[in-house]
Amino acid sequence: MTKHFFGIAPMLALLLVTSGCATVSTLDAAKADAPVVYAGTRLDWYVLNGGCCPLDRFGAQAPAMPGLDLPFSALLDTLLLPLSLITALGGTLNVTGGL
């Protein structure tokens, strides 16, 4: 059991460090012409390649460590790909929440 914990502990620590995920920050960006498909991955890549103004281009601040965030954003962007494609094509989901 201890051996199993020591395998999971670094992953949990890594997830806590990357709580400033680029994908999560671009989900509620209120910029009309901001990219939607793979937005978090594109934001990380933009910053890693010396992009000057992520807030102007993506409507969201870049994470503190974009190189560390990139694989997690790519994974989350892949999971959200069907929803982002619908949004990019102009569709709406008409989903409401709450009670």
- Residue 69 falls inside a structural domain: yes
Tell me whether residue 98 is in a domain.
no
Residue 1 lies in a domain: no
Residue 8 falls inside a structural domain: no
d(CA 63, CA 60): 9
**At 76, which amino acid appears?**
L
**Domain housing 80:** 19-88
According to DSSP H, which parts of 2-65 are helical? 2-17, 22-27, 39-48, 54-58
Q: What is the arithmetic mean of pLDDT over 66-78?
A: 89
Domain count, the chain: 1
20 falls in which pLDDT band (50, 70, 90)? low
60, 82 Cβ separation under 8 angstroms: no
pTM, two decimal places: 0.72
How many residues can be counted in the chain? 99
Q: What confidence score (pLDDT) does residue 9 get?
A: 65
Structural domain includes residue 76: yes
Residue 74 lies in a domain: yes
pLDDT score of 77: 92
Mean pLDDT, residues 49-63:
89
All residues at 6 or more sequence positions from 18 whose CB lies less than 8 Å from its CB, including other chains: 63, 65, 68, 69, 72
Any domain includes 42:
yes
- The per-residue pLDDT for 37 is 92
* 25-44 mean pLDDT: 85
Q: Is residue 81 part of a domain?
A: yes
